[in-house]
Chain A
């Protein structure tokens, strides 16, 4: 059973460029989340999907950020016109809303993250 995977693991870009990150959740998980973590801080919620529907977006998610989960499987997070303040670790997590027993588990399992550096 593979865990959550994220690609790339590291991304260095110049200010003003667009970047896209990919997250592949645990295969049977129907919920997917994006968080951002800056150095020395805890992760901050950005957005989450249940299947392909984006159900919540944080105010942190400016109009330069867009996330998709087109077929309810993998997700992409795109940042347009990157700024130095976007430098952070971007973490993806997934969870299973209800297991086969009908009991809610919903524990979020995280991927290894994508570290973005904007020069």
Chain B
């Protein structure tokens, strides 16, 4: 079964507008972490933001914020005031801390964002 689902394969967003990227996850582990990474065309995965399953508040990091809805098992990324440099693939990932052995990240299929001037 898919553990991380990103239902939007691609999105266009107008420069300076906000965009929400969807991510739903599936786990029975009570302790887990959720990550978002950006992958520009150069290929490097750039860490954006982290949310722990026990964190009471939604994570924020500059123009990035995470809309964490634990009961719905969703962890949507919001990018505010989009810039042309935000054009990239965005991946949601999960680390299960108790039931899964090791420390691996499980990634979704990604969402391609294209910011229009």
Main secondary structure of the interface of A (DSSP, over half): strand
Given contacts A107-B50, A109-B47, A110-B45, contact A42 B93 (CB under 8 A): yes
- B109–A41 touching, CB < 8 Å: yes
Number of interface residues of A (CB under 8 A): 26
Stretch in B11-19, B36-44, B68-76, B80-88 with 4+ CB within 8 Å of A: B36-44
Which B residues have a C-beta under 8 Å from some C-beta of A? 4, 35, 37, 42-47, 50, 91, 93, 95, 101-110
Contacts of B101 in A (CB 8 A): 56
Q: Which of A3-41 contact B (CB under 8 A)?
A: 31, 33, 35, 40-41
- A48–B104 touching, CB < 8 Å: yes
Contacts of B50 in A (CB 8 A): 107
Contacts of A115 in B (CB 8 A): 43
- B109–A113 touching, CB < 8 Å: no
Contacts of A44 in B (CB 8 A): 107
